[in-house]
A and B are shown apart, each in its own frame.
Chain A
Amino acid sequence: MAREITFMEEPHAAAEVRKILHPLVAEWFFRKFDDFSLTQLYGVKTISDRKNILISAPTGGTKTLTAFLGIINYVVGLALKNELEEKIYAVYVSPLKALSNDIFVNLEAPLSEIYDLAKERGLEMQNIRVGVRTGDTTVSERAKHARKVPHIYVTTPESLAIVLTTTKFVENLSALEFIIVDEIHAMANKRGVYMSLTLERLCELSLIEPVRIGLSATIAPLEDIARFLVGEGRDCLIARVKLMKKIDIGLISPAKDLIEADSIQSQKELYKILDGLIQDHKTTLIFTNTRAATEKIIHYLDLHFPGKYNELIGAHHSSMSKENRFEIENKLRKGELKVVVTSTSLELGIDIGNVDLVILLRSPKGVARALQRIGRAGHKLHSNPKGRFIVTDRDDLIECGVMMKGMIENKIDRVDIPKNALDVLAQQIYGMAISKIWRAEDMLKMIRKSYCYADLSEEDFFAVVSYLAGDYALEHRHVYAKIWYDATSGEIGKRGKTARIIYMTNIGTIPEEGFISVVISAPVEKRGQIIGKIDEAFLEKMKRGDVFVLGGHKYQFIRSQGMKAYVIADVSKSPTIPSWFSEMLPLSYDVAIEIAKFRRLVKEKIENKKKTLDFIKEYLYCGDIEADQMYDYLSEQAKFSEIPTDKELIVEKFKSDKEYLLFHSMYGRRVNDALSRAYGFAAARLKHRDIEVGINDNGFYLAGEKLDENKILDWVKAKDLELILKEAIETTDVLRRRFRHCASRSLMILRTYKGRSKTVGKQQMHSHFLLAAVRKISNEFPILQEARREVFEDVMDIHRAKGILKDIENGKIKVKKVRTPLVSPFGLNLILQSHADLIRMEEKLQFLRRMHKLQMGIIESKEGNGKE
């Protein structure tokens, strides 16, 4: 099907835009604003002309009003002619739940002001109704919507999917004219996949083809986002609005010598710098990436400057209660806080007022994310956003430097939108079957209109239908079939009287993450005390004997049961596991490649110090101190081993307690995750032993008793990658956890059933069982397949990993093996902080027998000692 995705070259002229406005709307607009914003010049007329458009503009633009203005203009025109019908003209979808403020400013206030103006002018005007429905909307409000049809309907993706199964309400959507998708950049995930199908359903039931309007912050690639917005076979214009905003940005290294960055002196220096920056600005927002770091910064600011920040500082992160977060947001908007420290939770949405400086402590791991964060400063239209990177180690320094370059040169890293997600598909097919009886081929045709399912295979589609129809349950079909499928007539319909209730109460794609209570089991006097919560992913990383920090105290992990972790309190050993690991953001592939390229450019001239320093300063737009530090770091690596680049993959081998192979694969965490497991699997297979692997954004290592690097490197071939990984992930925690999420999304595990909700703990327990049972039935069960896809494509990046392997095979990337006496400077962070996991090769039974021998050995030697 022909479709065109076109970038708009020029905005419309102001006079042209003005011409299309109804005189009353124009009068209202120019009473309130001096002129159209650039975004409005791009968008308003395009929308009025009924063309699909994706508007990408940095935060602080006037995107939401742009989207609404054309629509307001149209419905006001109708209302003045008394031609307003009882139907929904426009649907506005936003992933944010707390959007009432935004909607008031950009929709409700304009409408009521125009209404007042009409009165003033003595004009008759029908009332234009706005209906808001989110998860928090009360039953009585919903009933009101059913009685009095709102003309503009504001909702979330989940609530929209629910109303699509309500026969009565759907009638109101049968001549829908506009769909607005706000914050579309935040939907490059399963929630967005889900929404893309909901939009197709919406279009399918509307007799006219609604115009689609997407609003996005800076994101790439815009062509893909546009396709994602409009679906297959439809045209879309893209407005890339370059606001006149200049970013004021800088890179700060808190210590002369970053190797000592953890020392007390440099910590002191860090807080001095923070305090200075905060004092020089009105309101400062600090991003720290993790919850733990957020708490730590607040604690230490208070420690270094007692009393100074008491009432003027606030924390904001996702594990705080909704009320507490709301309070902080309010205070921020009112200007009552001097500084707010946040993990990532303030990246999105809601207007947060007059922040004039954003500090990025540690790398934000992607250019788009960095821009988004810095855009939080100067949210007001005409002020320039201002941001500072503060780095914590030398990897961080180079990473932030490269990212800053990307921001200045507008090189945005690309996002990937999940394709062919079978769990989301299952939920949607169920929803569709609830609405009406479908012909399977029509259903598939409609699904394939979504960008996310354009190449969905018939086989996968029918596998999901079979699952929903209960085919995998064999003789128990009647018990849990959700739909019926009649192969002769080719028709699909719902099963069971409670289908709609099950659907409504279990809809959604955001997995519930479990929190594990940490309970003291020793010493005895503290036994049973609950000291706090950790998340599931973190628990999965722990083994018996590990020491971790929670709430400023150290605990030793003994065992877990259900949703409880039992620990020993008052331990003096050092932590063995960093508590922030599970929250780490992965470095984007594009930034990683830029770092590798930067390394190459430096490597080419490293012999000449002055030339190198000049190059660094010019290339990364940074100062002398930072350039010096980068030079030192790179030349240390050059002397000790060799600098890895985008064209040379350095593999170092060294021996300490075991043999280590360290791959300096600068491809970002998701690619490294895939590569490390493949090479780890090779090493394990060759020796028939489990191999430890550790990964971070910059590389990975394998550790084992004896490693043959030549054999290991030869064993992994691009064409086999998928097969290797399929075997390598089969017994991992990550597959198990993703399976639980997929089982819940595909309604295999109903979170709410017969009026009762299941705790995450229950879900987890059941999913463990379910996975084992599913495997016994079929290893190709669609929901298990989906969990694998999620691990391959969303957690890892199997496609780019394959590309790297191909480049190694065709010589574009050279692999160089280097022996080092110990870990090289570039490898240090990897060994110290990486996430260690295991490639399991040893069968469960073999492991038991080996452990048995070991245990017997211990017992005998103890008994032996006793006798002496």
Chain B
Amino acid sequence: MEIKYIGKTLLIEDSGERVLVIGDLHLGYEEAMRTNGILVPSGIYEEIVREIELVFDYLEKKRKKVDKVVLLGDVRHEFGRILKSEWKEVLDFLDYLKEKIGKKGEIVVVKGNHDTMTVNIVKKKNIEIVDYYIWGGLAFLHGDKDFDVVYDKDIKYWVMGHAHPAVVLQDKKSVKKEKYKCFLVGKFKRKEIIVVPSFFPIVEGSDVTGLNGNELGLAWDFKLGSFEVKIVEGEESLETLDFGRLNKF
């Protein structure tokens, strides 16, 4: 099995199959803001598609066909009723993915804490929404809830979203400060843990420095200090950079 970090996504290859993992999307975020009295101009959905397109272009160049796409939950943003733009954007996005992975491809949607009614949308495309998804030795989770099955000894990896991990880098001498999305990779109860950054553009996420799992809203109190940080370069680049352990920052 091989795990590749491609921008904000993961590509996992095992026994001839390839799975593309995408973190929290929060589609419909703008409309949710507008209903709260914040006048955001539109454009995030287009940005999301543009960014995922970069990933597919890259994979195509490498001649790597994706068989499955796993969405790690929080596909949509609003907790309650489904907003108009959520209907449209979620359906459009699923259509887009379908087109990219072809007829034989499969889309798996893991249920996030924001996905109270997402099932109603995805079932239009005959897609199920699941609490967790087990594939080979991997368990895909949203991250807010724990499940007994994931402790099975055949499962070596937990891959999750939910935490929107990011780190702030600072220049020691000057006052420069920048925030970057990152993956967190570490161990917990002899499982390999990968926390995937949100795919949602514009906002980087929460600075995880000095925090543990629970403080990030995760169901397990990971000692994140010992986790490796992989920073997503972002912009047009699909590279990630290893920054060593979080507690070495």
CB of A382 within 8 Å of the partner chain: no
Asked whether, in the complex, the Cβ of A566 is within 8 Å of the Cβ of B176, the reply is no
Contacts known (A753-B37, A845-B233, A845-B234); A851 close to B169, Cβ less than 8 A: yes
| Stretch of A2-10, A203-211, A772-780 contacting B (4+ beta carbons < 8 Å) | A772-780
Query: Closest residue to B172 on the A side, CB-wise?
Result: A545
| Closest-CB distance, A546 to chain B (whole angstroms) | 9
- The B134-180 residues at the A interface (CB cut-off 8 A) are 168-172, 174-178, 180
Partner of B47, one of A774, A776, A848: A776
Asked whether, in the complex, the Cβ of B40 is within 8 Å of the Cβ of A859, the reply is no
| Closest-CB distance, A748 to chain B (whole angstroms) | 5
| Distance in angstroms between the alpha carbons of A776 and B72 in the assembled complex | 27
Asked whether, in the complex, the Cβ of A748 is within 8 Å of the Cβ of B38, the reply is yes
Name the interface size band of chain A: 35 or more
| Distance in angstroms between the alpha carbons of A472 and B42 in the assembled complex | 8
Contacts known (A480-B34, A773-B30, A845-B233); A559 close to B42, Cβ less than 8 A: no
Contacts known (A559-B210, A774-B41); A844 close to B33, Cβ less than 8 A: no
| Closest-CB distance, A506 to chain B (whole angstroms) | 8
- The A147-200 residues at the B interface (CB cut-off 8 A) are none
Contacts known (A848-B178, A852-B231); A473 close to B41, Cβ less than 8 A: yes
Asked whether, in the complex, the Cβ of A475 is within 8 Å of the Cβ of B42, the reply is yes
CB of B102 within 8 Å of the partner chain: no
| Closest-CB distance, B95 to chain A (whole angstroms) | 18
| Distance in angstroms between the alpha carbons of A31 and B113 in the assembled complex | 76
| Closest-CB distance, B68 to chain A (whole angstroms) | 31
| Distance in angstroms between the alpha carbons of A545 and B175 in the assembled complex | 11
Asked whether, in the complex, the Cβ of B42 is within 8 Å of the Cβ of A473, the reply is yes
Partner of B38, one of A690, A770, A849: A770
CB of B189 within 8 Å of the partner chain: no
- The A520-576 residues at the B interface (CB cut-off 8 A) are 521, 543-545, 558-561, 566
Partner of B176, one of A690, A776, A849, A856: A690
- The A33-66 residues at the B interface (CB cut-off 8 A) are none
- Chain B residues with Cβ below 8 Å from A324 are none
Asked whether, in the complex, the Cβ of B44 is within 8 Å of the Cβ of A773, the reply is yes
CB of B61 within 8 Å of the partner chain: no
CB of B202 within 8 Å of the partner chain: yes
Per-position binary interface string of chain A over residues 373-405, scored 1 when its CB falls under 8 Å from any chain B CB and 0 otherwise: 000000000000000000000000000000000
| Closest-CB distance, B134 to chain A (whole angstroms) | 34
Asked whether, in the complex, the Cβ of A753 is within 8 Å of the Cβ of B36, the reply is yes
Asked whether, in the complex, the Cβ of A849 is within 8 Å of the Cβ of B168, the reply is no
Per-position binary interface string of chain A over residues 807-851, scored 1 when its CB falls under 8 Å from any chain B CB and 0 otherwise: 000000000000000000000000000001110101011011101
CB of A754 within 8 Å of the partner chain: yes
| Distance in angstroms between the alpha carbons of A523 and B176 in the assembled complex | 27
Query: Closest residue to B235 on the A side, CB-wise?
Result: A845
Asked whether, in the complex, the Cβ of A480 is within 8 Å of the Cβ of B39, the reply is yes
| Distance in angstroms between the alpha carbons of A154 and B177 in the assembled complex | 49
| Distance in angstroms between the alpha carbons of A837 and B174 in the assembled complex | 8
Asked whether, in the complex, the Cβ of B40 is within 8 Å of the Cβ of A847, the reply is no
- Chain B residues with Cβ below 8 Å from A768 are 203
| Distance in angstroms between the alpha carbons of A614 and B43 in the assembled complex | 70
CB of B243 within 8 Å of the partner chain: yes
Asked whether, in the complex, the Cβ of A845 is within 8 Å of the Cβ of B237, the reply is yes
| Distance in angstroms between the alpha carbons of A208 and B56 in the assembled complex | 70
| Distance in angstroms between the alpha carbons of A559 and B30 in the assembled complex | 28
Query: Closest residue to B236 on the A side, CB-wise?
Result: A845
Asked whether, in the complex, the Cβ of A848 is within 8 Å of the Cβ of B38, the reply is no
- Chain B residues with Cβ below 8 Å from A754 are 37
- Chain B residues with Cβ below 8 Å from A777 are 41-43
Asked whether, in the complex, the Cβ of A559 is within 8 Å of the Cβ of B233, the reply is no
| Closest-CB distance, B67 to chain A (whole angstroms) | 32
Asked whether, in the complex, the Cβ of A858 is within 8 Å of the Cβ of B176, the reply is no
- Chain A residues with Cβ below 8 Å from B41 are 472-474, 773-774, 776-777, 781
- The A468-514 residues at the B interface (CB cut-off 8 A) are 472-476, 479-480, 502
Asked whether, in the complex, the Cβ of A852 is within 8 Å of the Cβ of B42, the reply is no
| Distance in angstroms between the alpha carbons of A473 and B43 in the assembled complex | 9
Partner of B40, one of A561, A773, A849, A852: A773
CB of B207 within 8 Å of the partner chain: yes
Query: Closest residue to B85 on the A side, CB-wise?
Result: A476
| Distance in angstroms between the alpha carbons of A754 and B237 in the assembled complex | 42
Asked whether, in the complex, the Cβ of A859 is within 8 Å of the Cβ of B248, the reply is yes
Partner of B244, one of A545, A748, A837, A855: A855
Asked whether, in the complex, the Cβ of B244 is within 8 Å of the Cβ of A750, the reply is no
- The A744-759 residues at the B interface (CB cut-off 8 A) are 747-750, 752-754, 758
CB of A766 within 8 Å of the partner chain: yes
- Chain B residues with Cβ below 8 Å from A845 are 233-235, 237
9 CB < 8 A contacts A-B: A473-B42, A480-B34, A543-B177, A561-B206, A690-B171, A747-B39, A769-B203, A772-B202, A845-B233
**Sample of 8 further A-B pairs with CB below 8 A, known A847-B178, A849-B241:** A473-B42, A479-B31, A479-B34, A480-B39, A754-B37, A766-B38, A773-B44, A844-B235
Leading 10 A-B pairs by shortest Cβ distance: A753-B37, A750-B37, A777-B41, A772-B202, A748-B39, A852-B241, A480-B39, A838-B175, A851-B169, A859-B244
Which residues of B approach A to under 8 Å, CB–CB? 30-31, 33-34, 36-44, 47, 85, 168-172, 174-178, 180, 202-203, 206-207, 209-210, 231, 233-235, 237, 241-244, 248
